[in-house]
Amino acid sequence: MTSLGALRRPPSLWLKGVAGVGAVRGSASVPGMVPRPQGTRRLSRCPVCVGWNRVGPLGHAGSWEGEPSAPNGREHQLCLCWILPCQPAIAMGVPVFILAGLLVHCVFLVSIFDIYFSSPLVHGMTPHQTPLPPPAKRLVLFVADGLRADSLYELNSNNRPQAPYLRAILENNGSWGISHTRVPTESRPGHVALIAGFYEDVSAVAKGWKENPVEFDSVFNQSKYTWSWGSPDILPMFAKGATGDHVYTFCYTAESEDFGAQDAAKLDTWVFDHVKSFFNSSRSNQTLFSALNEDKVVLFLHLLGIDTNGHAHRPYSREYKENIKVVDDGVKEIASMIENFYGNDGKTAFILTSDHGMTDWGSHGAGHPSETLTPLIVWGAGVNYPQKVTSQFFEDNFLREWKLENLKRLDVNQADIAPLMASLIGVPFPLNSVGTLPLEYLNNSAHFKAESMFTNAVQILEQFKVKMHQKKETTLSFLFTPFKPLSDSEQINFLKKTRLYIQQHKYDEAVSLCKTLINLALEGLSYYHTYDRLFLGLSIAMGFVGWTTYVILVIIKTHTNLTKTVQANNKESTVLFYAFTIVGMIIAFFLLIQARPWTYYVYCLLPVPVWYAVVRELPVIQDLAANLLSLHISQCIGFLLVSTLGIEILVFSFFYRSTLTIGLLIFAGWPVITQLWVQAKTTALIWTLLCVLLAVFPLMPVVGREPNIPLVIATGLLTLLISCFSLACCCRSENKHRSNEELKVYFYQMLSITLSTYVVSSTHDSLKNKQGLPVLNQIISWMTLASSSVLPLLSSTFLFQRLFSILLSLMSTYLLLSTGYEALFPLVLSGLMFVWINMEQEALQHYGLSVKPKLAVFNFAYATDITQFRQLHLDDVRRSFFFVFFIVTAFFGTGNIASVNSFDPASVYCFLTVFSPFMMGGLLVLKVVIPFVLVSCAFEAVQVTTQLSSKSLFLIVLVISDIMALHFFFLVKDYGSWLDIGTSISHYVLVMSLTIFMMLMNGLAQLLTTKRLELPRRTKHHST
Ligand SMILES: [Zn+2]
Ligand SMILES: [Zn+2]
């Protein structure tokens, strides 16, 4: 990185006493053999990077000529090549520190999958089955993928049912209700809940949901034979999970799914046609014929057409509704064909349901009622007939809308359908099922119902017992806290009592007892599943806190003068080393005898070396404590309060963007609070104004909701106006710094702003008139994009000229990518950044840290030669915080992570109109990155003008982001919709990678501010 290179350079400037610390000019190359300049502190070379070191107040460093080298080399030494001391005193060189940091963060990152996203499934249960004969010999399961409950049940505009056959069924010969699905409302978890009876856990997230992430049992597996037809995305997972060869699948190939491209309903007619020809072919195939006539047969028809049409045309479209009609006709045909095939033996049960619903805008995955409410219609052998009721209460208004008030609605949870199917054809309940048998659907004796319920309870209790056994085996007996409500004796009690009730024909009591038992067992299952969560979470948090403390100590030790020289005590450190080794061994031993997985060792042992490193710095802590005690208590508490508040605001802004508004309003008051306004009234006033202006943006809706092209054009004109104004100012005041080339660059940039404004307006006009994207506009757009990365490098490296030139170039690109108010955002943000640079100067002066340099003549090109950095001041923590805050503002100012996902294609219309996810994604990332670049460039300017080492600031940023990461670690969600879980993980990952991201941005900013490309010149020595 450039910054490293810049810092490694030997000092070439004599800047004695600028910031209260001496500086030197060095030229010799042999470390330790340089005569020490008069009046300076000693200087040495870092053994790692061979760069020059300035020695801090603790310093000993290599050695100057004629001065003894540091005894046993254990002393602290400051190294400018990196913020870290390179001597063995901390026992960590640069590479070790980076490696340790990466390792610690990797472990933190990976740990969430072990802590939150582990599979709850257990194995090794015995199958249980109702001892009484089942009502049906075979079951036909129709799953209409993506069918909403209301789409099926509601009447159309002519007051006629959408699906006449199914309506007739639920009115005359079956039972109906709503099946409530859980989030994520996706096809795979939906089918798993239906057929295997459990809600697929989020551990599948990590495994991509492609293959079977975990082994599980299903109704299909328990059946004698299952034949299934439908999509290759769904069927294979049940065939693969089945033992033996009795689950048969017939899928169209994934490639030939295109045949449904014109009309997705063809996906459904394909299934119906194949079922019909399958039954026809069985008449000439004796083996197949007898197999079809066996008991415990399942026929599964997966109908993907409705889902596909819903995605393509949305649920209120003609296509979606017509597809429902196609499915209705198909179900009618198949049902009568099957009844005929079996000679109307009355031994066939039918179920029609759906895996999930669909939102009005054609998506699914989250928890909106339109996604979680799916229809359930059951009829045939063993199923209750419609029950007439006079009144029934549900919180929703659907019954009236659907004109079904008088037919009993029986709602179930999606996983309850698996035990229902199992009980209809008399197979064991799927082993991992957590569903409760919906008894009201059954048309059978009370005895049968009680027995079935009892089987259901025993089957779920079995899972509980296995889970408890597993946990008990891997936990030391004195550490094991059992789930009290369901102790061994309680379980036996429950079972005995239920048996007794059944024997006494008290079936209702038996059923209610079974329901209690099921609920307790499910509670216990989740108790044992999350048993280790607290302990692991605490281990990780310990490591996290230890690491952050260590980084804070490194900052204090190497960048401040809060601590005094401390002589390391050899004896003490040896004792410490052994003590920590013993602690580590004890932990390892405990884990070993409990036979924990290897990852547990990593999580539990990691805090040991981290805290060892912290405790070794005990003298620094003592020094610090002594220092702090001399301060006022109120000051300390105030500082802590302000820091906590600041970090909380940052954390909350990830969830509520409006929190940033509060933060910015507090910022607006900063000059008043710190009395800064007294010395710079105008600057302070502009600062306050711009803060308030920027505070408006987080309150606006996420970008892309309402395009507002006139606003974008107005922004373009405003930018032009500002640049004209600043050009006029520059020409008047600093003529000598201007050259023809620079004016030319300036002119090009203003031209590109003009062109961008024109392109945006004409492109959107032309698109509105359906004339497509004019080729000329497209060419201009791409050229502007290309030139914007080069133009700033051609401009002068004087602070404000360079920054302004960067702004103009980025603005021209940003305008092209804008569709509304967000176009103003970078303009206001960089306005604030300009004032910030000025304000930091004032602050520096306010705290007496520096003589105010003239910013107007400050040149980036010479700035990197300054190896003079001052000690960290408490105010620098605030400076770093401002930076992190502005970075977060840059991210959430106009949108959030969700808006990156649901991205509005309108914003790239100036570049391309053909759908190309890769290109569009790239352009969107560019749009997101532009505000970051602006903030980073401003921060770069702040760093160099306040003589701060970028590395020390990064350590502070690291601390801030680690504290935030600890917050997000506890906020990771393992439940909720796809989006909720994904967002909580991405928050965590985002904060974790914040430091790396900021370092990248810093490198880019340095490149943009310091590098200068020279145009070929005709006249030499034109400018000075
Ligand atoms: Zn689906
Ligand atoms: Zn879908």
> What is the end-to-end Cα distance of the chain in Å, rounded?
30
Q: Looking at per-residue confidence, does 596 or 483 come out higher?
A: 483
Which of 89-93, 104-108, 139-143, 846-850: highest mean pLDDT? 139-143
- How far is residue 190's CA from residue 304's CA, in Å, rounded to a whole number? 13
Distance 355 CA to ligand 1 centre (A): 6
255 CA from centroid of ligand 1 (Å)? 18
Query: What is the DSSP secondary structure assignment for residue 854, as one 8-state letter?
Result: -
Percent of the chain with pLDDT over 90: 28
Q: Using alpha carbons, select from 140, 230, 182, 210 the residue that is nearest to residue 356.
A: 182
Query: CB–CB of 191/143 below 8 Å?
Result: yes
For residues 977 and 737, what is the distance between their CA atoms, to the nearest angstrom?
59
Task: Give 671 Cα–ligand 1 centroid separation in angstroms.
Answer: 57
Angle at which helices 824-846 and 799-816 pack, to 10 degrees?
Answer: 160
Give the whole-angstrom CA distance, residue 887 versus residue 669.
20
pLDDT grade, residue 855 (50/70/90)?
Answer: low
Whether 736 shows a pLDDT value over 80: the answer reads: no
The string of pLDDT tens digits covering residues 99-150 is: 888 888 888 888 887 787 777 788 888 888 888 999 999 999 999 999 999 9
Can you tell me the distance from the alpha carbon of 529 to that of 975, in angstroms, rounded to the nearest whole number? 14
Cβ neighbours of residue 209 closer than 8 Å, sequence gap 6 or more: 186, 188
- pLDDT per residue as tens digits for the range 232-249: 888 888 877 666 688 999
Give the per-residue pLDDT at 862. 64
Q: What is the 8-class DSSP label of residue 852?
A: -
Distance CA 110, CA 707 (A): 40
What pLDDT shows up at residue 297? 95
DSSP type of residue 155: B
Mean pLDDT of the chain: 79
Query: Which ligand has the nearest atom to the CA of 355?
Result: 1
CA 554 to chain centre: 30
The CA 307 to ligand 1 mean position distance, Å, reads 6
CA angle, corner 499, sides to 495 and 503, nearest 5? 170
Residue 902 CA, ligand 2 centroid: distance in Å: 16
Q: Which ligand is nearest to the CA of 353?
A: 1
Closest-approaching ligand to the CA atom of 358: 2
How far lies 902's CA from each of 703, 704, 707, 926, in Å? 11, 10, 15, 16
Task: Examine the pLDDT at 811 and tell me if it is beyond 50.
Answer: yes
How far, in Å, CA of 551 to CA of 945, rounded?
A: 25
User: 377-406, pLDDT tens digit by residue?
Assistant: 999 999 999 999 988 888 888 898 898 989
Q: Which of 318, 348, 412 is nearest to 142 (CA)?
A: 348
CB atoms within 10 A of CB 517: 26
DSSP structural state of residue 482: -
Which backbone phi and psi does 249 adopt, to 5 degrees?
-120, 145
The pLDDT value given to residue 392: 86
User: What distances in angstroms separate CA 959 from CA 550, 643, 881, 966, one per listed residue?
Assistant: 10, 12, 10, 11
Q: Which pLDDT score is estimated for 378?
A: 96
Q: What is the pLDDT of residues 5-58, one digit of tens each?
A: 333 333 322 222 333 333 333 333 334 333 444 433 434 433 333 333 333 333
Ligand nearest to the CA of 233: 1
Closest CA to 464 of 515, 517, 516: 517
The confidence band for 171, taking pLDDT boundaries of 50, 70 and 90, is very high
d(CA 868, CA 228): 75
Least confident of 284-298, 323-337, 723-737, 859-873: 859-873
> Mean pLDDT throughout 838-853?
74
Are the C-beta atoms of residues 225 and 460 closer than 8 Å to each other?
Answer: no
Contact between 331 and 152 (Cβ < 8 Å) = no
Query: If pLDDT is split at 50, 70 and 90, which confidence band does 598 have?
Result: confident
- How many Å is the Cα radius of gyration of the chain? 36
Residues with CB under 5 A from ligand 2 (ion): 307
pLDDT at residue number 563: 61
Residue 100 to residue 97: CA distance in whole angstroms: 5
Contacts (Cβ under 8 Å, ≥6 apart) of 570:
none
Tokens of 629: 């005690």
Q: How far apart are CA 814 and CA 822, in angstroms?
A: 9
Distance 326 CA to ligand 1 centre (A): 18
pTM beyond cutoff 0.95: no
The predicted pLDDT at position 958 comes to 83
What counts of helices (H) and strands (E) characterise the chain? Answer: 39, 10
